[in-house]
Amino acid sequence: MADSNITKKALADSLKEIMKTVPFEKITVTQICSGCDMNRKSFYYHFKDKYDLVNWIFDTEFSKFATERNLTENYDERILLIEKMCNYFYNNREFYQKALMIKGQNSFSDHFWQYIQPLVKQRIRYLLGSHINRDDIKVDEFTVDFLTDAILCAVERWLLNNEFMHVDEFLDKILVIVRTSIMLIQKEMDM
């Protein structure tokens, strides 16, 4: 691991540890640096602010799943990927419950939306293009934003619910909705 990533990981681990007991808005860069014996200069060399650090944690940990994705995945492969992503959120739910509570500029919710939106758009373009990945296929932005909002809202509601349901139950509910919707759309198209 490069020195830069070692430093970033140490700062990330420190923030995660502090977030277990301190509300995010009360956490200072000084506290984060103290937790891993670094100075503020090191922090600001790598991150703009603590919001940037939260987003970096998501990007680096979640990118494992993004690199596994493939536009030509079949339905079962895509479901397996979604299951892996949900398990990631489930296993890190304490951190993401707190990260999703951050509101305002540079919030994690905004960052997550910006991460998911191009993936949704790419997938819709793929499906509309009869499985030919063509950049010239136009996708309605309203549709993309609607589906992105639905994904973000479902994940947020799941993670922030006081009676947190297990990942298997969450996935079962999502799959029932998706499968039912697909069947109804197909039925309507066949009429």
Place of tokens 């301190």: 22
Residue 25 near residue 54, CB atoms below 8 Å: no
Q: Which runs of E-coded beta strand occur in 23-134?
A: none
Burial (0-12, 13-18, 19+ Cβ within 10 Å), 57: buried
Give the other-Cβ count within 10 Å of 98's Cβ: 20
Regarding whether 80 and 60 lie in a shared domain, the answer is: yes
Per-residue pLDDT of the chain (191 residues; tens, 9 = 90+): 567 889 999 999 999 999 999 999 999 999 999 999 999 999 999 999 999 999 999 999 987 766 655 545 676 777 787 888 889 999 999 999 999 999 888 899 999 999 889 888 887 777 776 555 555 667 788 888 998 999 899 999 999 998 889 999 999 998 888 778 777 776 776 76
Integer Cα distance of 108 and 122 in angstroms:
22
Regarding whether 53 and 39 lie in a shared domain, the answer is: no
- What is the percent of the chain where pLDDT is above 90? 49
Regarding whether 186 and 175 lie in a shared domain, the answer is: yes
Identify the pLDDT of residue 67: 62
What predicted TM-score, i.e. pTM, was given to this entire model?
0.82
Regarding whether 54 and 14 lie in a shared domain, the answer is: no
Task: For residue 99, give its domain range.
Answer: 49-190
